[in-house]
Amino acid sequence: MRVGHPYIPNTREIREQMLREMGIASIDDLFADIPEKIRLKRALKLPRAMSELEVKRHMKAMLAKNKPFTQMLSFIGGGAWPHDIPSHVQALARRSEFVTSYTPYQPEASQGMLQTLFEYQSMIAELVGLDVANASMYDWASALGEAALTCARITRRKRFLIPKLISPERRVTLQTYVVGPGLEVAEIGYDRKTGRLDLSQLRAQLGQDVAGVYVENPSYLGFLETQVEEMSDAAHKAGALFVVGVNPISLGLLKAPGDYGADIVVGEGQPLGNPVSFGGPYLGIFACRGEMKLVRQMPGRLIGMTTTLEGGKRGYCMVLATREQHIRHERATSNICTNNALCAVSAAIYLASLGPQGLRGVAERCAANASYAMKKLNAIHGLKAPIFDAPHFNEFTLNCDGTRMSIEKLNSKLLERGIQGGISLRREFPELGETALLCTTELHSREDIDRLAEELEEIVGGQR
């Protein structure tokens, strides 16, 4: 007997029997309505089917050409941050009841996912200091795009202000997102000494046409904005919404944006228990104040708490679906349907596991490591770290104008020594000179940072 396919339980024999019972001569009869002209009359040109063992061998060999940060010391961050993921977080998030379920359209049979997502929303709400967070977006960049569109819908205005010092990924994604309604995105400059957003420029740009003001805290280049209250006041005075972008780990230490006037908070939820995985899947955070004026304009899925119809038991279900595409069609607040729910599950379990002390502990280690690294690197002749005179969280700038080396050269010398240096900012911000963006997290030990400093000392010193 011919052996069947491992994932297709109806063997050829069973299929033939089914066809016979249905009075159908051949499987091809089920495709007879496809016009002759467009029937594919050859096999698809794909590699031959492989066994699981062969696929494992082939793919492990191919992927071994990648160099994970577990095999080399790395200081890359910039919008995706490697962190330790506790074993039980991974084990729970990989439970196949979560992994192989669909959007919880039948709440009675999907309470597990619904309650977990409600807990995710709740913990993000605590973290950012706002009442409402949705059940996830794709990532930070697309969440920012959606935030701009949300501001425009609420205010019926068409200008959106962003800082000049923002990651190119987020800036370009935002530009792409606002093409539809034709919003104008304008950049606000920064103070050359501290990196901070230029308040007077912001005030000058704020007019009756501004839908939203966006700032990042910590900023893309790692320094902290120290005048967020002033920015929030300025935005609100002009009738604009105040939107803050965050690395959620920093909120283990830093003041919640909701406490300094943020109307909307977006951010990258990846560091909350999700691996960096070459850029995705990540977790777009999207939160807002509890006012219904805002909530009704929010994109994405929301899970709410309710009771059973007979009233006795607490339960959870999707709510305010009239904002969404499957009900509202072209008048929906967004087209988003499939989101990144499983990444939100990981984030919920991660945050529940860390608690306030744990998250504070992780954030402190990230910041303390950066602080130590800046001190060590800045002591090296020809190097400056950071370039801005401001408090930093876990990322910072390293400038090598004082050497005769370009930042790319410096990075490639480091790579030769098995260290992945920072992100070169030369193309992104040429005015900053030969500068890179480096990141430390709790994964870095003191010895790791000492090693970076020693290697840099040698590279730069050997040059003199």
**Rule CB under 8 A: which of 356-415 touch another protein?**
356-362, 364-365, 367-369, 371-372, 375, 391-393, 411-412, 415
Query: Given candidates 1, 25, 100, 156, which one binds another protein under the rule CB under 8 A?
Result: 100
Query: Given candidates 194, 201, 353, 406, which one binds another protein under the rule CB under 8 A?
Result: 353
Eight-state DSSP code of residue 280: -
Query: Given candidates 343, 383, 405, 452, which one binds another protein under the rule CB under 8 A?
Result: 343
Query: Within 10 Å of residue 159's Cβ, how many Cβ atoms?
Result: 22
Structure tokens at 318: 């999707």
Alpha-carbon span 375 to 369, nearest angstrom: 10
First to last CA, the chain: 76
Structure tokens at 194: 């501290």
Instruction: Give the distance, in angstroms, between the CA of residue 268 and the centroid of all CA atoms in the same chain.
Output: 3
Residues 110-169 that bind another protein (CB under 8 A): 110-113, 115-119, 121-123, 125-127, 131-133, 135-136, 138-142, 149, 169
- CB-wise, 18 or 204, nearer to another protein? 18
> Is residue 447 a contact residue for another protein (CB under 8 A)?
no
Q: Of 195-203, 236-244, 439-447, 452-460, which segment contacts another protein by CB under 8 A?
A: 439-447
- CB-wise, 208 or 412, nearer to another protein? 412
User: Of 369, 392, 378, which is closest to residue 194 (Cα–Cα)?
Assistant: 392
- CB-wise, 208 or 307, nearer to another protein? 307
Alpha-carbon span 380 to 159, nearest angstrom: 44
Residues 313-332 that bind another protein (CB under 8 A): 313-317, 319-322, 324-332
Residues 184-223 that bind another protein (CB under 8 A): none
Residues 236-295 that bind another protein (CB under 8 A): 251-256, 259, 268, 275-282, 290, 295
Adjacent-strand bridge partners of 212: 160, 241
**395-399 and 314-319 beta bridge pairing:** unpaired
99 φ, ψ (degrees, to nearest 5):
-65, -40
Query: Given candidates 2, 3, 25, 66, which one binds another protein under the rule CB under 8 A?
Result: 66
CB 180 within 8 A of CB 186: no
> Is residue 60 a contact residue for another protein (CB under 8 A)?
yes
Query: Given candidates 210, 215, 221, 224, which one binds another protein under the rule CB under 8 A?
Result: 224
Measure Cα distances from 291 to 131, 267, 294, 295, 304 in Å.
9, 20, 6, 6, 15
Query: Given candidates 151, 161, 177, 263, which one binds another protein under the rule CB under 8 A?
Result: 177
Give least dist CB 234 to another protein, A: 19
- CB-wise, 176 or 208, nearer to another protein? 176
Give least dist CB 39 to another protein, A: 6
Binding residues for another protein, rule CB under 8 A, total: 205
- CB-wise, 203 or 365, nearer to another protein? 365
- CB-wise, 118 or 214, nearer to another protein? 118
| Neighbouring residues of 430: CB distance < 8 A, sequence distance ≥ 6 | none
Strand runs (DSSP E) across 136-181, as ranges? 159-163
| Neighbouring residues of 210: CB distance < 8 A, sequence distance ≥ 6 | 157, 159, 160, 161, 235, 238, 239, 240
Instruction: Give the distance, in angstroms, between the CA of residue 33 and the centroid of all CA atoms in the same chain.
Output: 45
Give least dist CB 142 to another protein, A: 5
| Neighbouring residues of 1: CB distance < 8 A, sequence distance ≥ 6 | 13
- CB-wise, 76 or 199, nearer to another protein? 76
Residues 1-40 that bind another protein (CB under 8 A): 5-10, 14-15, 18-19, 22, 24, 27, 29-35, 37-40
- CB-wise, 141 or 432, nearer to another protein? 141
Alpha-carbon span 366 to 358, nearest angstrom: 12
